[in-house]
Amino acid sequence: MLNIVKVSSDEQFNEVGAGLVAGLLQSNPRAILGLATGSTPVGVYSQLIELFQKGLISFAQTRSFNLDEYIGLAPDHPESYRRFMNEKLFNHIDIDMRNTHVPDGTAADPEQAALEYTRMLDEAGQIDLQLLGIGHNGHIGFNEPADELQAHTHVVELKKDTRAANARFFNSVDEVPTHAMTMGIGSILKSRQILLMAKGASKADILKRALTGPLTTQCPASLLQTHPNVVILVDQAAGGRLS
């Protein structure tokens, strides 16, 4: 079931997104969170930090699993997703760093590291709330459009347009890694609840296609239509083509 929430300001966007996470933590302090990177969730993370600082929520018993990581970037690289999570959220809350998991982009054997990440996910059990963004080509995590999609964590070659979209975070597109490790579609869809977040008019067409079009591996986000509990959080521009 898809529940679409349209908001009219960044402040509302962040409050709704953080409110969903906070409500979960208040009812289940041991919740498992699936976390995402990129510009869209930054404000949500800031709002969560504020709620923690006010004593309204705690992450002390929480575990987290991030969707993906670039292959070849060290954890302290300015554009690694581990560093992103540390700077935008983890360093400012009471989560135990040992309970935060991000795929290992520097593993000598990335394929083996992907298998290990899948094992950790399976041992942890079901993710209670998975945060997602959506790429302009419909990718979620780094599950790119393809004839077939993988269920579990795996290594993926990034599409040219995905690298181009992420080039704004680097000095040039040539610096954007060519490969990444990502949680698979099967693992994402196993989550109890999913929060898909999108901002801006450039996401309007792909959201319309993903949420109302046919189910197809050429638009990985379309498979969210099969999930029983998805919240779609959008601003007016991104949700412009959604009823």
**What positions carry a catalytic annotation?**
68, 137, 139, 144
- What is the arrangement of strands in the sheet containing 193-198, beginning at the earlier edge strand? 2-7, 230-235, 193-198, 129-132, 32-35, 63-66, 100-101
DSSP conformation letters of 105-135: TT-SSHHHHHHHHHHHHHHH---SEEEE---
94 DSSP 8-state letter: -
Do the strands 100-101 and 129-132 form a parallel or antiparallel pair, or are they unpaired?
Answer: unpaired
Q: Alpha-carbon distance 33 to 126, whole Å? A: 9
Q: Give, rounded to a whole angstrom, the gap between the first and last alpha carbons of the chain.
A: 15
CA atoms within 13 A on the CB side of 178: 1
216 DSSP 8-state letter: B
> In 3-state terms, what secondary structure has residue 32?
strand
Q: Alpha-carbon distance 90 to 5, whole Å? A: 27
* Sequence-distant (≥ 6) Cβ neighbours of residue 234 within 8 angstroms: 4, 5, 6, 7, 197, 198, 199, 203, 207, 242
Rounded alpha-carbon distances, angstroms, from residue 208 to 1, 51, 201, 217, 226: 15, 33, 11, 16, 16
